Amino acid sequence: MQVLLPANSTMEQTDEVLGVVRNYFLNHEKDAILSCMTSCGAGFMLRGQNVGMSWVRLKDWKLRERPT
């Protein structure tokens, strides 16, 4: 996923938002998530201190424990 903060946002602000995203996935979606990596400074087609990316690796379906 990509995050885009307002123009003139700092790298620290972008990293803080990405920390919230990472914590959400790892704590609230932990039944389905294997790992989450984030990076500041670039996105799919954008670059800047107000842009960030997150890559989420999902667990295999047979490893997920949610009731059906």
pTM of the predicted model over 0.85: no
pLDDT in tens, 9-66: 999 999 999 999 999 999 999 889 999 999 999 888 788 999 999 999 999 988 887 6
Q: Which residues pair with 55 in a beta bridge?
A: 37
Give residue 67's pLDDT band: very low, low, confident or very high (50, 70, 90): low
For 40-59, the three-class secondary structure string (H helix, E strand, C coil) is EEECCCCEEEEEEEEEEEEC
Q: Which helix (H) or strand (E) holds 26?
A: helix 11-28
Domains located in the chain, CATH noted: 2-58 (3.30.70.1430)
pLDDT at 66: 65
CA gap 33, 39 in Å, rounded: 18
CA distances from 39 to 12, 45, 67 (A): 12, 14, 33
